[in-house]
Structure 1
Amino acid sequence: MKSDPKECLYCQNNETQHELMIEIAKLSVSRLFIFKEQTYHGRCLVAYKDHVDDINLLSDEDRNAFMADVVKVTRAMQKVFNPDKINYGAYSDTLSHLHFHLIPKYVGGPDFGGVFQMNPKKVYLTDEEYADMAEKMKKEL
């Protein structure tokens, strides 16, 4: 399904995006965000820098660079948040812009052993806590 960049959350950098997430870094071919809803402590999202509907539309070089960005982020997440597992979610049924949800999971924590909830709207942090998370992530990148 082709999508329109003029209607894309990641391309428009609009208020809806700012309500959901905080951009913390630009990577080689993508942008890193911390999700504001933190039921899964340390949840991040990596979005490709340009509007592309699917990973299979990238050149091999760009796909490899994007996946290298994803791995770079998960390595930083492992150091900063020390999760037991990181789940990867690449859903774009209604928002066709290449992006990966990176969800830290903890034994005994929410949905461990199951599928994460997209936006459970249960846990929000203070501005200071988001800033602290962002600084720690940037340091490890």
Structure 2
Amino acid sequence: MTMFHLHDRLEADTAPVAQLPLCRVLLMDNRVWPWLILVPAQPGLTEIHQLSREDRHRLMDEIALASRTLEALFAPDKINVGALGNLVPQLHVHVVARSKADPAWPGPVWGSGFAERYSPEERDSLTRKIGEGLGQK
């Protein structure tokens, strides 16, 4: 049986937040946007349709939980959800809190050229706060 392994690029660009029933929740290391990545912790997945019916529903529930958590913490104008996978083939879903005041609005965050890493203190504080919002201790 193949073990789940997080793609190296996701490992390098994110900080762990929580483990939900299906997904590993990660914080994108870009303080310009509150940005979570949900990765179903199953090996070999590249597309949503490869999940079982039950896990597709679970993924949607976990996306909704992540979205509600970002809404509660950041009061964004819009939540963007996307599963692109062009650079990282491992199935992962982006959940990004957007504001009309953000530097890329109304365009996409991908390829915008806006990136600024969190300080370790900011990252630790935010992952803890989001983890609590997701119901994780």
Q: State whether TM-score is above 0.5.
A: yes
Whole-angstrom CA distance in 2 between matches of 1:101 and 1:82 = 18
Aligned-partner Cα distance in 1 for 2:124–2:89: 29
**In structure 2, what is the Cα distance between the partners aligned to 1:13 and 1:97?**
7
Higher-helix-fraction structure: 1
Whole-Å Cα distance in 2 between the matches of residues 23 and 118 of structure 1? 23
**Alignment CA distance shift 1:60-1:104 (3 Å):** same
Look up the SS of the partner of 1:96 in the other structure: coil
Partner of 1:11: 5
Question: 5+ unaligned residues in a row in structure 1: which ranges?
Answer: none
Find the counterpart in structure 2 of residue 30 from structure 1. 23
- Give the equivalent residue in structure 1 for 2:62: 69
| TM-score relative to the length of structure 1 | 0.82
Structure-2-length-normalised TM-score: 0.85
The superposition leaves residues 7-30 of structure 1 with CA deviations (integer Å, 9 ceiling, x where unpaired) of: xxx82465x444310011000101
Instruction: Look up the equivalent residue of 2:36 and give its one-letter code.
Output: C
CA distance in 1 between counterparts of 2:92 and 2:6 reads 15
AA aligned to 1:100 is V
Rounded Cα–Cα distance in structure 2 between residues aligned with 1:91 and 1:17: 13
Q: What is the number of residues matched between the two proteins?
A: 132
Q: Structure 2 CA distance, aligned partners of 1:98 and 1:13?
A: 10
| Aligned residues of 1:25 and 1:33 also touching (Cα < 8 A) | yes
> What's the Cα RMSD here?
2.2
Structure 2: segments with no counterpart, 5+ residues: none
Q: What are the superposed Cα offsets for residues 40-86 of structure 1, whole Å, 9 maximum, x if unpaired?
A: 2x111111111211111111111001111111111111111221111
Amino-acid identity (%): 21
Residue 133 (1) aligns with residue 126 (2): yes
Q: Aligned to 1:64, what secondary structure does the other structure show?
A: helix
1:1-141 → structure 2 map (5 Å cutoff): 11-12=5-6, 14=8, 16-40=9-33, 42-51=34-43, 52-118=45-111, 120=113, 122-141=115-134
